[in-house]
Structure 1
């Protein structure tokens, strides 16, 4: 009958020295942080792709809207020119567009301040990993 030794085929057995255990923990922590960096890269890449597609659609919509507004403005100038002098009609339409531009600028600036380029989920998991690394038994 053959004798069987415990942990004979287990590379992570309980017979490892403290140095080996620390080496494994360090290696595992390094692997974890590398994976977190990859997660952050993937998360940022996905968000950038979505933002790029949305920006393209906004660009197309913006051009179409520009054309509509151009011709509507010309129609407004020509309509007002029937009542006022042509120069005054064009000035009134330009003043209306100046007010619209100012309002849109103010709203855009407010919304841009609310944008967060930080990968929130990755930051949170990194904080959790750091807390665990400091106190792995909790």
Structure 2
């Protein structure tokens, strides 16, 4: 049974190689994080623009429909126009509060964290620590 000779490297060479590989790994991870953050920023901009444009269109439609509903309630229920407008306004306000709460939750910073990069960085840090022991 013969034993093949192992590639003999000195400790300084091994440490130098480890440092070089760790540096390259963290550079790669930094590029990944930058790329993912850029994607998230683009996603935020596109989403924000769509929300703004949609909100403007819906606001115009809501004004027209609210006025039509006030007129319909006035005619159908035979109530004063002021009371009909108050009822319609209250319902629309409740819907608006619900929608604002939902939108605020979607834009929380925790939803915009680059999760894949953070997890990969954790794994790489653990691997470097284990190899440096």
TM (norm. structure 1) is 0.74
Alignment pair present for 1:62 and 2:55: yes
Which has more radius of gyration? 1
Residue pairs, 1:42-57, within 5 angstroms: 42-57=35-50
- What is the aligned residue count? 124
Q: CA RMSD in A?
A: 2.4
Q: Which moved more, 1:83-92 or 1:109-118?
A: 109-118
C-alpha deviation, 1:28, in angstroms: 1.7
Residue deviations 1:59-83, cap 9 Å, x none?
A: 2111111111110001112222332
State yes or no: 1:103 paired with 2:98: yes
**Secondary structure of the corresponding residue to residue 112 of structure 2:** coil
Residue 51 of structure 1 aligns to a residue whose secondary structure is helix
Bigger helix fraction? 2
Of structures 1 and 2, the one with the larger relative CO (CA 8 A, separation 6+) is: 2
Corresponding residue to 1:24 among 17, 20, 29: 17
User: Taking structure 1 as reference, are residues 30 and 55 closer, same or farther at Cα in structure 2, changes over 3 Å only?
Assistant: same
Moved more, 100-109 or 89-98: 100-109
Inter-CA distance 110–43: structure 2 relative to 1 (3 Å threshold): closer
Alignment of 1:65-104 (within 5 A): 65-82=58-75, 83-104=78-99
